[in-house]
């Protein structure tokens, strides 16, 4: 049975923040953020925002919830609804997306509602070295992101390990 999210949407917090994983990292990123190639591929989190908000990819955006706020570089994409933002959750404070989410439990499953909470976004002052985020798989690459992005591939001797390829 569907029910409204525990975190109410209102005039102060009209948008929905959802969090999720990236291809390069797993869970909290405690292990994957120690691997050079994966860190180079996805060095820090970003916030996906719809173009209607007027940001450019790489702009610093403050995501504000009732639990606090954090600044992320924007990834502008039409793949997300105008009333939603997405932030991956694999990093610790000061860019810990889950620190912004709500810990209310679903009444039946007792699973926390990490996937939806009320938020707003604001223009942020320039922060030190806000890199252009990589384009997540399946998302359109904007020219600003594509021009600044570098692709890191493992040495050919490591390709195919664990996949059954190249054996």
Q: Is the entire prediction scored with pTM above 0.95? A: no
7 in a structural domain: no
Ranges of residues in the chain whose predicted pLDDT is under 50: 25-26, 129-132, 140-167
165 in a structural domain: no
Residue 64 sits in a domain of what CATH number?
2.40.40.20
Token digits of residue 68: 């606090």
8 in a structural domain: no
Look at the chain and report how many structural domains it folds into. Answer: 1
167 in a structural domain: no
43 in a structural domain: yes
pLDDT of residue 165: 39
Quote the CA–CA distance of 137 and 16 in Å, as a whole number. Answer: 22
CB count, 10 Å around CB of 9?
Answer: 16
């Amino acid at each position: 049975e569907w029910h409204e999210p525990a975190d109410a949407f209102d005039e102060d917090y009209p948008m929905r923040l959802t969090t999720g994983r990236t291809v390069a990292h797993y869970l909290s990123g405690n292990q994957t953020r120690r691997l050079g190639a994966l860190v180079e591929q996805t060095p820090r989190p970003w916030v996906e925002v719809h173009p209607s908000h007027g940001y450019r990819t790489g702009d610093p955006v403050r995501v504000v919830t009732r639990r606090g706020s954090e600044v992320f570089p924007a990834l502008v994409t039409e793949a997300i609804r105008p009333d939603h933002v997405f932030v991956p959750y694999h990093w610790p404070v000061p860019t810990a997306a889950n620190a912004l989410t709500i810990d209310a439990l679903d009444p039946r499953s007792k699973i926390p509602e990490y996937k939806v909470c009320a938020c707003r976004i604001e223009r942020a002052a320039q922060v030190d070295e806000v890199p252009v985020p990589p384009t997540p798989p399946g998302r359109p690459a904007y020219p600003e992101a594509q021009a600044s992005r570098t692709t890191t591939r493992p040495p050919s001797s490591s390709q195919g390990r664990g996949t059954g390829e190249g054996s």
